[in-house]
Amino acid sequence: MALPAQLKGIQHHLRTAQEHEKRDPVVAYYCRLFAMQTGMKLDSKTPECRKFLVKLMDQLESMKKELGDNDSISQEVVGNAHIENYALKMFLYADNEDRGGRFHKNMIKSFYTASLLVDVLSVFGELSEENIQHRKYARWKATYIHNCLKNGETPQAGPIGMDQDEEADEFGAEGFSGLGPAHGGSFRGGGSSQSFGDPDQSLDPGLGFTPGPGSGPPTTNYNNIHIPPGAHAPANTPAELPPPADGVHLSPEDFTKAQKYCKYAGSALQYEDVGTAVQNLQKALKLLTTGKE
């Protein structure tokens, strides 16, 4: 069923869901959930939109039944960790390629997809300021590098333009569908040999970002953009943890946070990212033994 014009704002999230249908059904599910929730706000009254959204709801129900045994679907905190970790991995891959001066269509795609997945995190609650900044930077970088390559120019590597007064727009990235899906791939320890998708994926030169006014680089100092400790680093020796304090009372929220850190650690180990796993386990242990983060 064709996407109604009124729901154009969710087309890229739906496309991301389709691309991850087999590679990562959890990502596909939450992308569609975000699209459905956003679509309801955009237009749930006109017949064509209502029909489209009902079909999307049915698809979500079907996926939920099929993936019912998956903790990332049955437990929100686990699902949140899964999407956030996946978005971070895509961001780090693109950021490593960018800082290394390796500009290609695949890294542009990864920057932009990371920004879309940050959008998706809003299904779990309000976005953190850190996530908002990551999204803004990723979208601007995707736009900047895409336009440079399209115009035959060599992009400047890494964070740039910090002295400019203009802010980057939250680009709608019209026509970004020219970037084909990234298939397969993995992140291995944060090195430059990482791959995520097919580097030969074609880019339709007629389809690119259409930045709005004020589309210069962000003013935020992204040279110091915060990446969770250990994301680029090798494994660290765990810090000494204090013994459990007498009378430590953990709230349900504390247990939820500890679960989240453990899930982050598990996801990091799937990518053989030992440093990130250790850091998150340290956070969980500190919280459980002291009641403080």
Q: For 102-147, how does the pLDDT look when each residue is reduced to its tens digit (9 = 90+)? A: 999 999 999 999 999 999 999 999 999 989 999 999 999 999 999 9
User: How confident is the model at residue 35, as a pLDDT?
Assistant: 96
**109 Cβ contact partners less than 8 Å away, ≥ 6 residues apart:** 142, 179, 180, 181, 182, 197, 201
Domain that holds residue 20: 5-74
Task: State both tokens at 161.
Answer: 């333009």
Domain count for the chain: 3
Residue 110 within a domain: yes
**79 Cβ contact partners less than 8 Å away, ≥ 6 residues apart:** 26, 30, 72, 73, 124
Q: What is the C-alpha to C-alpha distance for residues 184 and 237, in angstroms, rounded to an integer?
A: 32
Residue 41 within a domain: yes
**Looking at the predicted structure, is the pLDDT value of residue 5 above 90?**
yes
Name the pLDDT band for 181 (thresholds 50, 70, 90). Answer: very low
For the segment 148-168, the average pLDDT, to the nearest whole number, is 69
Residue 253 within a domain: yes
Asked if 104 and 206 sit in the same domain, the reply is yes
What sign results for the dihedral spanned by CA atoms 135, 120, 122, 68?
A: negative
Asked if 85 and 62 sit in the same domain, the reply is no
pTM of the model: 0.62
Asked if 211 and 91 sit in the same domain, the reply is yes
Amino acid type, 166? E
